[in-house]
Structure 1
Amino acid sequence: MCRLIIARGRFEATAILDAALSMSTGVTALDDVPTRVHPNGWGAVWRTDDGALAAHRDHRAFVDSRESAGLEDLRTDMLAVHVRHATLPEKTGLRFAHPLERLDDFGPWYFMHNGFLPTVYQRLGLSASAFDSAEYFDYLLPHGQWELDVESTLRRLREIPPGGTSGNALLLNPRRAYVVHWTIPEAPYQDYFTLRRLRLPEADIIASEPVPALAAAEHWEALPPATIIDLPFTTGHERSIRRAA
């Protein structure tokens, strides 16, 4: 299980990093949750001055390695952070740290996942699961695809065999970010897997938990189930929000 946050617009990177730290150490955790602390590595993706994406990964706990990343003075209009709690103890180390990365013809895709989907490998025709998040990345975004089709993606999510919890994810390329908000309807701890959105005058923030240091809880809007949000970087405005029927 993991925690995610993405900010787009005008914001202080340190505030977003502080929010990720609060989520990783359980400061902002809800009362009834399966996991409060997320110490098994972390990663970040951000936009550079020339519109490219840069990334950082670390196998250590965020609280122990944040300063060594050199992101405190980062100036960017998009920053996403992932802090991880490994569902399976053997799936730890830098190999399993997010963001996962894929290089397609037009450029890179970065991927961050919160949840556990141990059956998604079956949809890829594999004999067993090696790393559910990597398999989910391949399933959610077939190779060579440079945009995420909302309706077909929601259909594919519903076709994942029973088992597991959530498919909440961030997919980022140099043109846009997609926020996938989807949890298996029968999974426990639905509130734990509900993403929240904070709309500020100059920034748009989506996170796994309300972060009081950014705004009081009543200002965080819970995303509806089965929602995919498309956040293009070119216009600075959200292009569309689509939901399942």
Structure 2
Amino acid sequence: MCRLILASGTFDAARIVDAAVEMSCGVTADHDNATTVHAHGWGAVWRDLGTGALHAHRDTRPAVDTAPASPAAFARTDFLALHVRNATLPENRGLSFTHPLQRPFDDWYFMHNGYLPTVHQLLGMDASVFDSAEYFDYLLPPGTEALDTESVLHALRAIPPGGKSGNAIAVHPDRAHLVHWSPPDTATPKFFAMQRLTLPGLDVVASEVVPSLAPAHRWRPLAPDTVLTYPFRSERTSSCPRPGTASSTTSTTPRAPHPTAPVS
């Protein structure tokens, strides 16, 4: 299983990276799952504050060893999402399985926390190969430009029983989405809960309360069955929403490397 964190607005990227590292080491663990350390690699996607371009970084080493000195920690950005990983299956380790996932034919990046071994059935596959990639294809089929709460929840509730959670972050040049959903019978609901910190000009959502970012009383549980949308302002216009709000604009950005490319 994994841990997720997303920040949108005005913030120091290094502090968000440090928060992800704390979650990866189990420093902030307060939940109902035996897994507290997430050392099977990590990844990040962020939006350049000056150009609006999306950048991704993936590393198969533990976040505590490499994230604080990575490009993500020094990014000038108004949007940053990180994923620290504990692979559910040993065979699904390595760079090609490290989030954010990206397909060669579109501009989406995808991060998943959970295990959905039955979603392949809805894709017409005989067996699951990598559940997170299959979930990516199911939730964001080719041609998808945005997600909306009603269609997402309808799709999630159609997944055959046997999964643990569909918590995810999906990032596109125009916008990012955070999906908070687990089936009602998930065995560890506290582990898959998500927490939200809202400060002036800043919105943070994380898999755990991170006291180094703000005292525990400033955080609030994110309601289940929630889809948050973070529109990115266009770099070509001057009239656009302030970062950290949730509506809809457009922006064009270059692609980042496919996940099988060398670690940056």
- Please give the range of the TM-score, normalised by the shorter of the 2 chains: over 0.9
In 1, distance between residues paired with 2:170 and 2:187? 25
Q: Is the 8 A contact 1:120 1:136 kept in 2?
A: yes
Relative to 1, partners in 2 of residues 1:146 and 1:210: Cα closer, same or farther, differing over 3 Å? Answer: same
Counterpart code for 2:132 = S
Counterparts of 1:79-118 in structure 2, within 5 Å, are 79-104=80-105, 108-118=107-117
Structure-1 separation of matches of 2:115 and 2:38: 14
Structure 2 Cα separation of the partners of residues 121 and 175 of structure 1: 28
Question: Are the aligned partners of 1:34 and 1:189 in contact in 2 as well (CA < 8 Å)?
Answer: no
Letter in 1 for 2:73: E
The match for 1:120 is: 119
Output aligned runs, 1:5-84, within 5 Å: 5-48=5-48, 49-84=50-85
Letter in structure 1 aligned against 2:76: R
In 1, Cα distance between equivalents of 2:209 and 2:171: 22
- SS class of match (2:103): strand
- Aligned-residue offset at 1:150: 2.2
Does the CA contact (< 8 Å) of 1:114 and 1:167 recur in 2?
yes
- Give 1:155's aligned residue: 154
Mapped contact 2:47–2:54 kept (Cα < 8 A): yes
**Structure 1, unpaired ranges of 5+:** 241-245
Instruction: Find runs of 4+ consecutive structure 1 residues off by over 4 angstroms.
Output: none
Distance 2:47 2:33 in 1: 32
Corresponding residue number in structure 1 for 2:261 = none
Q: What is the one-letter code of the residue matched to 1:74?
A: A
CA distance in 2, matches of 1:34, 1:140: 28
Q: CA deviation at 1:34?
A: 2.7
CA distance in 2, matches of 1:71, 1:164: 31
Contact kept? 2:31, 2:191, Cα under 8 Å: no
8 Å contact kept, 2:121–2:127: yes
Across the two proteins, how many residue pairs are aligned to each other? 238
SS at match of 1:7: strand
**Is the Cα contact below 8 Å between 1:44 and 1:55 reproduced in 2?**
yes
- How far residue 25 of structure 1 moved from its aligned partner, in angstroms, is 0.2
**Unaligned stretches of 5+ residues in structure 2:** 234-240, 249-264
TM-superposed deviation, 1:103: 4.7
1:192 is matched with 191
CA RMSD of aligned residues (A): 1.3
Q: Percent identity?
A: 56
Q: After the TM superposition, which residues 132-147 of structure 1 pair with which residues of structure 2 at under 5 Å, given as runs?
A: 132-147=131-146
Relative contact order higher in (CA < 8 Å, ≥ 6 apart):
2
| CA distances 1:132-172 after superposition (whole Å, capped 9, x unpaired) | 00000000111111111321111010010000200000000
State the alpha-carbon separation in 2 of the partners of residues 80 and 31 from structure 1: 22
**Which residue is equivalent to 1:239?**
247
What amino acid maps onto 1:25 in structure 2?
A: C
| Structure with more strand by fraction | 1
Is the Cα contact below 8 Å between 2:177 and 2:230 reproduced in 1?
yes
Contact kept in structure 1, 2:122 and 2:159, CA below 8 Å: yes
Within 1, Cα distance between the matches of 2:85 and 2:6? 15
Measured in 1, the distance between the counterparts of 2:12 and 2:194 equals 21
TM-score normalised per structure 1? 0.94
Using the size of structure 2 for normalisation, the TM-score is 0.87
State the alpha-carbon separation in 2 of the partners of residues 146 and 38 from structure 1: 31
**Mapping of residues 161-240 of structure 1, within 5 Å:** 161-234=160-233, 235=241, 236=243, 237-239=245-247
